[in-house]
A and B are shown apart, each in its own frame.
Chain A
Amino acid sequence: MSLSYLITYAAFITFVVAVVARIHKIESMPVHLRWELYPVAHEGKRAHYGGSYFEELNWWTKPRKFSLISELKGMIPEMLFIKALWENNRPLWYRSFPFHFGLYCLIGWAGLLVVGAAAQMANLYIGVGAGAVGLAIHYLTIFAGAAGLILSTFGALSLLQRRLTDPEVDGYTSAAHIFNLCAFLLALIVADLAFVLVDRDFSIARAYVQNLFTFGNGPAVSSAIALEMVLFSLLMAYVPLTHMSHFLTKYYFYHKIRWDDEPNFKGSELEKRITQALGYPVSWSAPHLKADGKKNWADIATEEVDK
């Protein structure tokens, strides 16, 4: 088995471990105070103007409505089209949207390569002249791959251009920003060249994926495609280790902070978690708190101040 496959396996494992570790880190944090920000998407009819259940008289006596449709209406445009950026920073959207949407296409492309590889292993021919399924996989793979490469290469280039020339971000661009964009560009340009010069229907890329299933016991793969796949693999491993893991944490930003309007009722599970947190010992040093590392939150919050 060649080194490239080992790198891809290792990258995949790194990706999964990094994502699971990040989820575990966030999920294991204690309950936090409410800090929502309106509009809250699941508010249904009130969501369009940013209203909440606090607008109702005796709100605690009313059944809490949670509109999944309304939440999806809020989520999908944000996830697919970065709506907040469209509304609040249009010049950046013209750069960021192609980059991100291109990556979505490439993720779809990778999924189609997996499906195609599995289909080939089941002796289904994929390519021109194949049956309906094989033909669909063939063309969808080309479309997703080509669109993804064009959009994300353009996006990465224009984001890099902004980082290097826009006075608005001058002073806020670190070495890591430049490195990250260059890393994406390197992988994307290699993939672009491989697509144009070597693998116009992504059949070799599919063979590479098929080899991953068979631990390298499959058709030979050109070194250009192996390089492309290694670079994409390294990116897959690297991204969840950086601030670019917002592909995951954005869920928490929205669902667990901005839209977290769950009220606390007597006897609820939430109340138990709050009670537990109020029992944490405190070691802040300011004199007015008189914390000693043993007193807990409830002790200090119920203590009389010096008069």
Chain B
Amino acid sequence: MSKKKIRVEDISKPSEKLTHTEVKDFPPLPPPYDKLENLPKWDPLKCSNEIESSLDDTIAVALPKPKTKQEEQELVRKFLSGLEKLFTKENNWPFLQLLTLTMEHCAKCQTCSDACHIFEASGRNDVYRPAYRSEVVRRIYNKYLKPGGKFFGKWKHGDIDLNWTTIARLCELAYRCNICRRCAQTCPIGVDNALITHELRKVFSQEMGIAAKELHDKGSMLQLKVGSSTGMNPLVVKDNMDFIDEDMTDKTGMTIKTPWDKSGADVLLIHNAGEIMAWPENPGAFAVILEAAGISWTLSSEVPAYDGINYGLWYDDFQLARVVIKHAQAAKKLGVKKIVVGECGHSTKTLMVIADRVLTGDLNIPREAAMPFLEDIVFSGRIKLDPSRNDFPVTLHDPCNMVRLMGIVEPQRRVIRKICPQFREMTPHGVHNYCCGGGSGFAIMSGYNFQTWRKHISGRKKFEQILNAFKGQLSPDIPKYVCAPCSNCKGQIRDFLFGYDAWEKCRILYGGLVELIVNAMSDVKPGFIEWEWH
């Protein structure tokens, strides 16, 4: 990376790339990743004639280049129109107060920079500062939308030019932040620069119809149309769960039959359907635990209630609301006592915290996270546990949505302390954790070389934390387990463990919490965790 300072106003100046990063800029990792040959290849993306790619070395949104000046101007106009709507109560009541305060009170002290794993892992690249993108937005808003902005905007914040280059780069830059809000946690005033990322994505989606296709076309839209972002319709998901039931029956020696659409069940369990496709042992383990504990539970085959994902959380308030309402309607139809959200951080936060001020009346059905629900089962004595079956090094990843943003910190720890004799914490952990690098949708975004960027930059800090947690035991002779009770986090951890070849080099496996619980259950066949499956 060139160490030349990149200034806020530089975002408006056309150039091939606003910034560029190289492996030598990245902070070193612990052995064996201190040697260049042990690192995954870094393949910076070249410029494209068709796609806007002038921000940095990767692409997340893949915005087509406008063909005419008029088209550019129209997009700039729409951006400004969308930005203006963010500050009206009619169009943005959900975040108006939060956004207004954050826009007006940043002292620009850069305390937030040191909290950001992406900024740190990039070798302190100016463009990845939490305050960089928010400062661009502040300057545009104050210059172009506030009365007297041409003078007072510059006086208060500094200058900026609004042109297509600015918008195109800003669109990509909105997808270089995990919205983990670690920066907000450290702000001495309380300003939340991650919120500006969130609001910026909304301007692009809600006004301009622009979003990462994995989040919108292949995400929330597919979920609303078919039932799941995995593409599974109700018939397919039931078929897949049947297969998982058979597999669980074979593996555990228990007879497992997942109940579907059971009216009046105590619990409607909503998984992230990605688990069913990518990690079937997770919904399988849930079924084993719930059956063994004698819980009255069910899954729903209503579209989209068998998929708890809600990508609207990251880019579009309306898509979010559409999905949570359908989830609640399915629960209401079944007459369940409560919804329990499976091991998925963003689904849990969406249904429990965000939806709390969306769902009213009969749709406001009690909702609970999996962690206290599982803790109760584990400590109630309803299942027999043998911790010696989990006698290998285990560390715990704290999903930001569930921990920093919901305060669910201890239940999963109490479970792990009970069933994993070799548990050790990462540093830092709990509400001060680092994001896995897959947050805000990154874990499911892999177009162009974005996955490489995730491995090298957004996931670097978490990988370093994992290696440090297992310090002294990194030899491939010792199998180790990273417990990540969140589907998106698992996706990201899977990608970087694979990218760094961490199974072969260090024998690091990842998985959820329920797999560890079933692995310790003395009433099932030993060896639930399949170490060779990685």
Show the binding face of A for B, using Cβ within 8 Å.
Answer: 26, 29-40, 43, 46, 49-60, 82, 84-85, 87-89, 92, 96, 167-177, 242-243, 245-246, 249-250, 252-254, 256-258, 261, 263-266, 270-271, 274-275, 277-278, 280-289, 297, 300-305, 307
Contact = CB atoms under 8 A, between A and B. Distances in A.
A280 B407 contact: no
A85 B426 CA distance: 24
A275 B371 CA distance: 31
A15 B531 CA distance: 67
B204 to A, nearest CB: 9
B494 interface: no
A22 to B, nearest CB: 9
A50 B404 CA distance: 8
Interface residues of B, number: 94
B409 A33 contact: no
A304 to B, nearest CB: 8
Nearest to A304: B224
B353 interface: yes
A237 B208 CA distance: 41
A138 B325 CA distance: 65
Contacts of B224: 304-305
A38 B407 CA distance: 6
A277 B101 contact: no
B209 A283 contact: no
B146 to A, nearest CB: 13
Nearest to A303: B322
A85 B112 CA distance: 10
Given A51-B407, A300-B318, A34 B356 contact: yes
Contact of B357 (A31, A37, A60, A85): A31
Interface in B414-454: 430-432
B206 A289 contact: yes
B190 interface: yes
B144 to A, nearest CB: 17
A289 B318 CA distance: 8
B111 A39 contact: no
B392 interface: no
B131 interface: yes
Given A84-B187, A275-B360, 5 more contacts: A35-B98, A38-B403, A250-B190, A253-B189, A286-B209
B105 A243 contact: yes
A218 to B, nearest CB: 39
Contact of A285 (B81, B105, B155): B81
B95 A32 contact: yes
9 contacts: A38-B407, A243-B105, A250-B189, A264-B356, A266-B364, A285-B209, A288-B209, A297-B321, A302-B325
Given A33-B357, A243-B107, A256 B185 contact: no
A49 B190 CA distance: 19
B83 to A, nearest CB: 12
B412 to A, nearest CB: 10
A280 B405 contact: no
Contact of B115 (A38, A52, A88, A173): A88
B155 A257 contact: no
B100 interface: yes
A153 to B, nearest CB: 20
B315 to A, nearest CB: 11
A32 B108 CA distance: 25
Contacts of A31: 93, 357
B98 A282 contact: no
Main secondary structure of the interface of A (DSSP, over half): loop
A16 to B, nearest CB: 20
A93 to B, nearest CB: 8
B78 interface: yes
Among B187, B188, B404, max chain A CB count under 10 A is at B188
Closest 9 CB pairs of A and B: A52-B407, A253-B190, A50-B431, A301-B321, A88-B186, A172-B108, A89-B111, A286-B209, A38-B407
Contact of B325 (A26, A174, A250, A301): A301
A285 B221 contact: no
A95 to B, nearest CB: 10
A89 B114 contact: yes
Contact of B113 (A43, A168, A283): A168
A282 B89 CA distance: 10
A88 B428 CA distance: 14
A57 B338 CA distance: 11
Contacts of B368: 54, 57-59
Contact of A89 (B105, B109, B207, B432): B109
A23 to B, nearest CB: 12
A271 B205 CA distance: 28
A285 B354 CA distance: 23
Contacts of A280: 89-91, 93
Contacts of A50: 403-404, 407, 409, 430-432
A246 B189 contact: yes
Contacts of B131: 172
A27 to B, nearest CB: 9
B188 A88 contact: yes
A172 to B, nearest CB: 4
A171 B224 CA distance: 44
A261 B93 CA distance: 18
Contact of A40 (B101, B321, B322, B407): B407
Interface string B316-327: 001101100100
Given A33-B357, A264-B357, A264-B364, A285 B82 contact: yes
Contact of B372 (A56, A170, A176, A282): A56
A37 B410 CA distance: 16
A51 B325 contact: no
A34 B85 contact: no
B16 interface: no
Contacts of B522: none
